[in-house]
């Protein structure tokens, strides 16, 4: 029985009754000759009342089993912008026929009919361009169908978790298979509220009870839930389904759209996983993508999507409002990996001044000198030595073999291989054919690695057995290639298609493809995860080569230098620098496994003049120096340059390391995954500035053509100041360099924030790119950079912001203190400062420090301290043993001071 459209009941949280409307729409398709009543939300009348002419229209389409209420934040944002005098978009959010508060028709409505319905609605409402479509779930497909059919009106497309293609041979998601199973469909979707309740339960954090009730409001009875079942039944499971052809038509049309596109994604979605995001990115490679870690299917409820959409509309204003016409659609050719730009052109020939990162390797291809040494391959105690000739041959054959089995330029290759000759060969082979290497440190742990691998959605995974086992067990994507040749049963169990031996055989007689272009993506390196979920940092070939060049020039690296590196990000640079390199016997994912004897053995093995270690590795090297033999000490005396980066290194630790390498100049460069080398400082300079009045850790001066500015903190601790080089200003460090990363992978909002307000004031050259580091510090009068902490760790007191590192250094001058952390407790803007210390000798019970130590700390620090707490050990983050986890300590200190039972942080 048909039921007309109605208005939602008043009082639904976040929904203003002024936005609710109904309209009679002449039917289309199978509804031709009929009239259907729609309910919809519309900010247009309110914009008219305010005297505001909208820029264009956002056409928002909900999925199953939600309704236009999903888009209430975007509707409200439209009016807020108008009331604030900002440019405003009209927002029209529909309730699809049979859904929400629109008419119930009891008519079968497959996908083609849904697209026709939406067309009829926009015609009835006389919607004109520019139009940005916005869709979620099955509404994403319907909105894209409208977009493909209206190139003359279309300005852009925005999507929340949805899918327009299911790969052949891959079943549709399990929850949908279960809901659509014979005997389950009607029971779970119509007769009961099971499907609706399950969908609403996917919100993270959970929905407020009143919001859940609002989503349930249109679906109180079975008669009003019929379309919920109809939508599930309309999912094309294979080519025989009636909606399959329409879905294929839309998918092909999307790949021809040449308009701005935005994808906001919840990776915890059990229905529309990153597999479907990857497919959409293949079809719309120019799209801005942001994955909200921790968000799921109901991303519109999980995260502030409306703010993100508003920022995107503002950023693309000119393009979205330019004249429209049929030319908005272009023929993009095939989609998916097979349709990516391949081997037709040589990138190198387009820029003869560019030197690819593998050039030094090719220059030494006939050299039988040692290139790479594995000190303990596979647990062996016999070093494995690989010559330049052997390495170049292995790289060329692997590159040709990978290409022969279908790996193409732009394909992502996740590497789960320990540093050494094998990893070096695979990395350079991938780079040579233009594949994008994805490197996530095993130190992230299984959970962090899974997030990283799934987030990057690789086409290929190359790994050792332990990594491939995790890939199989955790459902990581990608064709799998094993480092070693596995028994047939093991290979089948792990889903392995090839071994590297197979790849070498395929490449024996195959040709190499043309080289990639300098500005093609080359690598995605994941951050350590010490300041939140690990982020994928994308580098182009030009940027990797620039990193090689600045390292070689600043530190004077030559063929004869020899490099020992126990720091994973630089373990692959030896071949690029044209010098022999060795990774010492250690677990690079656990820096404290490195011993002084292992460093000496590695130095001796390749007659190294340069040693590159992380701060955590240095701690253990110093602690194990007593085991060094006279021969070990002689080997270390040959080192001329010692580097440590990854976290600021204090003078005392550098001096301890320098005592082991007495003829080396100790350096501690400052950088981050986004820009691996920014500044450099030597031990001599650190001694020179030891009595300077500056707070924090001096990390030296910018290297080469790098630049560093500071964005001043305001009274609320925000980096809102115009970036400048004024000395003595506390603020966020802003950097620029030729080797600065290109972008964050699928983190558009993070990219936008990292580049916020940095271009114009910093340089007249529009091509100079800048990056907000999240580090807090200042410049001194000589242009040296001092780091005083991380932006999230700034303590905003009633007297203004306080950075933690300077006060921590003061506390550590107290004789009874080994290490210290300064954290804040209490409400925002009214934080109180607390010192948390490791004592000498160590305390056995966490809690308030004894009165004498408290007095000494307070006298030394020069700040009003609410309390001094003592702990056996300060907690460090999951990756860098040298970085104190201040966020965790702050929460712990609040609990302790509130009277909680004394437990270790």
Residues 31-78 have pLDDT tens digits of 999 999 999 999 999 999 999 999 999 999 999 999 999 999 999 999
pLDDT surpassing 60 at residue 392: yes
User: How large a percentage of the chain has pLDDT more than 70?
Assistant: 90
In this prediction, residues 710-721 reach a mean pLDDT of 94
For residue 823, the model assigns a pLDDT of 94
Of the candidate ranges 24-33, 371-380, 573-582, the one whose mean pLDDT is the lowest: 371-380
Give the confidence band of 898 by pLDDT, cuts at 50, 70, 90. Answer: confident
User: Residue 93: what are its φ and ψ, rounded to 5°?
Assistant: -115, 115
Give the E-state strand segments of 202-260 in sequence order: none
pLDDT surpassing 60 at residue 180: no
pLDDT surpassing 80 at residue 256: yes
Cα end-to-end distance, the chain, whole Å? 63
Residue 682 tokens, joined: 């030597």
Task: Please give the helix or strand (H or E) that residue 480 lies within, else none.
Answer: strand 479-482
* Contact criterion met (CB below 8 Å) for 71 and 19: no
Cα 254-203-200 angle, rounded to 5 deg? 90
- Asked if omega into 437 is within 30° of 0 (cis), the reply is no
pLDDT surpassing 80 at residue 381: no
For residue 728, the model assigns a pLDDT of 95
- Sign, CA torsion 563/569/571/577: negative
CATH class of 17-168+243-328: alpha beta
For residue 345, the model assigns a pLDDT of 47
In this prediction, residues 113-118 reach a mean pLDDT of 97
Q: What are the extents of the domains in the chain?
A: 17-168+243-328, 355-540, 681-792, 794-897
Of the candidate ranges 69-73, 626-630, 768-772, the one whose mean pLDDT is the lowest: 768-772
Task: Please give the helix or strand (H or E) that residue 734 lies within, else none.
Answer: strand 731-736
* Contact criterion met (CB below 8 Å) for 811 and 865: no
Give the confidence band of 376 by pLDDT, cuts at 50, 70, 90. Answer: confident
Instruction: Report the alpha-carbon distance of residue 788 to residue 698 in Å, rounded.
Output: 9
For 681-792, CATH number?
2.30.38.10
pLDDT surpassing 90 at residue 221: yes
Could you tell me how far CA 757 lies from the centroid of its own chain? 21
Give the confidence band of 129 by pLDDT, cuts at 50, 70, 90. Answer: confident
For 774-793, what is each residue's pLDDT tens digit? 999 999 999 999 999 999 99
In this prediction, residues 624-631 reach a mean pLDDT of 94
For 7-24, what is each residue's pLDDT tens digit? 999 999 999 999 999 999
Site of tokens 């970085």 = 883
For residue 567, the model assigns a pLDDT of 73
CATH 3.90.1150.10 fits 355-540, yes or no: no
For residue 531, the model assigns a pLDDT of 60
Instruction: Report the alpha-carbon distance of residue 493 to residue 732 in Å, rounded.
Output: 50
Residue 34 tokens, joined: 């009929």
Q: Does the pTM of the predicted model rise above 0.75?
A: yes
* Contact criterion met (CB below 8 Å) for 152 and 129: yes
In this prediction, residues 136-155 reach a mean pLDDT of 97
For residue 452, the model assigns a pLDDT of 73
Across the chain, mean pLDDT equals 89
pLDDT surpassing 60 at residue 328: no
For 289-313, what is each residue's pLDDT tens digit? 999 999 999 999 999 999 999 999 9
In this prediction, residues 326-340 reach a mean pLDDT of 43
Instruction: Report the alpha-carbon distance of residue 402 to residue 417 in Å, rounded.
Output: 16
Number of helices and strands (H, E) in the chain?
34, 36
Instruction: Report the alpha-carbon distance of residue 796 to residue 713 in Å, rounded.
Output: 10
pLDDT surpassing 90 at residue 447: no
Of the candidate ranges 126-140, 203-217, 550-564, 755-769, the one whose mean pLDDT is the lowest: 755-769
Crossing angle for the helix pair 72-83 and 305-315, nearest 10 degrees? 50
Task: Please give the helix or strand (H or E) that residue 388 lies within, else none.
Answer: helix 388-404
CATH class of 794-897: alpha beta
The total number of residues written for the chain in this structure: 905
For residue 3, the model assigns a pLDDT of 78
User: How large a percentage of the chain has pLDDT more than 90?
Assistant: 70
Q: Would the CATH topology of 681-792 be identical to that of 794-897?
A: no
pLDDT surpassing 70 at residue 824: yes
Give the confidence band of 562 by pLDDT, cuts at 50, 70, 90. Answer: very high
Does 573 or 499 have the greater pLDDT score? 499
Instruction: Report the alpha-carbon distance of residue 655 to residue 65 in Å, rounded.
Output: 65
pLDDT surpassing 60 at residue 1: no
For residue 186, the model assigns a pLDDT of 64
Instruction: Report the alpha-carbon distance of residue 481 to residue 499 in Å, rounded.
Output: 5
In this prediction, residues 835-848 reach a mean pLDDT of 90
pLDDT surpassing 80 at residue 532: no
């Amino acid at each position: 029985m048909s039921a007309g459209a109605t208005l939602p009941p008043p009082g639904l949280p976040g929904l203003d009754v002024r936005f609710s409307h109904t309209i009679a729409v002449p039917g289309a398709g199978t509804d031709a000759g009929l009239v259907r009543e729609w309910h919809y939300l519309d900010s247009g009348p309110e914009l008219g009342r305010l005297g505001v002419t909208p820029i264009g229209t956002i056409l928002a389409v909900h999925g199953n089993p939600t309704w236009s209420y999903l888009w209430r934040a975007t509707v409200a944002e439209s009016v807020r912008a108008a009331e604030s005098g900002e440019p405003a978009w009209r927002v029209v959010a529909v309730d699809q026929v049979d859904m929400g508060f629109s008419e119930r028709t009891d008519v079968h409505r497959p996908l083609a009919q849904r697209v026709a319905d939406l067309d009829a609605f926009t015609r009835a409402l006389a919607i004109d361009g520019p139009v940005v479509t916005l869709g979620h779930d099955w509404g994403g497909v319907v909105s894209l169908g409208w977009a493909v059919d209206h190139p003359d009106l279309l300005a852009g497309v925005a999507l929340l978790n949805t899918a327009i293609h299911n790969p052949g041979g891959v079943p549709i998601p399990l929850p949908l298979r279960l809901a659509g199973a014979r005997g389950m469909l009607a029971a779970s979707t119509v007769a009961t509220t099971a499907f609706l309740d399950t969908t609403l339960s996917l919100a993270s954090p959970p929905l407020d009870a009143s919001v859940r009730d609002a989503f349930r409001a249109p679906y109180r009875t079975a008669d009003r839930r019929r379309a919920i079942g109809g939508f599930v039944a309309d999912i094309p499971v294979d080519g025989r389904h009636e909606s399959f052809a329409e879905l294929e038509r839309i998918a092909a049309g999307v790949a021809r759209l040449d308009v701005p596109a935005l994808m906001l994604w919840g990776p915890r979605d059990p229905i529309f996983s990153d597999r479907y995001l990857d497919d959409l990115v293949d079809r719309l490679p120019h799209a801005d993508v942001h994955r909200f870690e921790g968000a799921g299917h109901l991303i519109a409820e999980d995260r502030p999507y409306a703010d993100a959409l508003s920022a995107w509309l503002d950023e693309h204003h000119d393009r979205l409002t330019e004249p429209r016409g049929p030319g908005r659609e272009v023929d993009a050719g095939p989609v998916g990996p097979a349709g990516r730009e391949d081997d037709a052109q040589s990138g190198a020939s387009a820029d003869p001044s560019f030197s690819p990162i593998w050039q030094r390797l090719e220059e030494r291809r006939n050299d039988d000198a040692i290139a790479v040494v594995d000190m303990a391959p596979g647990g062996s105690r016999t070093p494995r030595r690989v010559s330049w000739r052997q390495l170049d041959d292995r790289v060329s054959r692997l590159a040709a073999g990978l290409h022969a089995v279908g790996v193409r330029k732009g394909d992502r290759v996740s590497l789960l291989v320990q540093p050494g000759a094998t990893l070096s060969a695979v990395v350079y082979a991938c780079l040579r054919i233009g594949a994008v290497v994805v490197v996530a440190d095993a130190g992230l742990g299984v959970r962090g690695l899974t997030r990283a691998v799934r987030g990057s959605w690789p086409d290929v995974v190359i790994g050792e057995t332990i990594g491939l086992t995790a890939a199989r067990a955790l459902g990581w994507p990608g064709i799998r290639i094993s480092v070693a040749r596995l028994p047939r049963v093991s290979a089948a169990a792990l889903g392995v298609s090839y071994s590297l031996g197979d790849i070498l055989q395929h490449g024996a007689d195959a040709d190499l493809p043309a080289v990639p272009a300098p500005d093609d993506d080359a690598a995605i390196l994941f951050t350590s995860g010490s300041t939140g979920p690990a982020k994928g940092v994308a580098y182009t070939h030009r940027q990797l080569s620039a990193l090689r060049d600045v390292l070689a020039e600043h530190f004077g690296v030559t063929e004869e230098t020899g490099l020992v590196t126990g720091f994973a990000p630089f373990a692959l640079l030896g071949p690029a620098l044209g010098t022999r390199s060795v990774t010492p016997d250690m677990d690079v994912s656990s820096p404290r496994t490195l011993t002084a004897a292992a460093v000496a053995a590695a130095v001796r093995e390749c007659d190294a003049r340069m040693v590159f270690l992380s701060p955590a590795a240095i701690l253990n090297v110093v602690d194990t120096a007593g085991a060094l033999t006279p021969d070990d000490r002689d080997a270390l005396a040959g080192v001329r340059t010692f580097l440590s980066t990854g976290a600021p290194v204090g003078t005392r630790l550098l001096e301890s390391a320098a005592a082991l390498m007495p003829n080396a100049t100790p350096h501690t460069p400052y950088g981050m995954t986004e820009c691996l080398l920014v500044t450099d400082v030597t031990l001599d300079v650190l001694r020179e500035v030891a009595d300077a009045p500056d707070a924090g850790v001096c990390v030296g001066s910018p290297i080469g053509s790098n630049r560093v500015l500071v964005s001043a903190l305001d009274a609320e601790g925000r980096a809102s100041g115009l970036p400048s080089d004024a000395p003595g200003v506390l603020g966020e460090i802003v950097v620029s360099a030729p080797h600065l990363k290109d972008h964050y992978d699928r983190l558009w909002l993070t990219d936008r924030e990292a580049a916020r307000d940095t271009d114009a004031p910093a340089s007249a050259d529009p091509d100079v790119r800048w990056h907000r580091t999240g580090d807090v510090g200042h410049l001194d009068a000589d242009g040296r950079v001092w780091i005083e902490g991380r932006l999230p760790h700034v303590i905003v007191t009633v007297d203004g912001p306080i950075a933690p590192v300077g006060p921590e250094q003061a506390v550590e001058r107290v004789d009874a203190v080994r290490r210290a952390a300064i954290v804040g407790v209490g409400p925002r803007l009214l934080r109180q400062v607390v010192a948390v210390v490791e004592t000498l000798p160590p305390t056995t019970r966490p809690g308030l420090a004894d009165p004498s130590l408290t007095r000494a700390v307070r006298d030394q620090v020069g700040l009003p301290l609410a309390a001094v707490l003592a702990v056996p050990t300060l907690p460090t983050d999951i990756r860098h043993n040298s970085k104190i986890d201040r966020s965790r300590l702050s929460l712990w200190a609040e609990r302790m001071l509130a009277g909680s039972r004394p437990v270790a942080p």
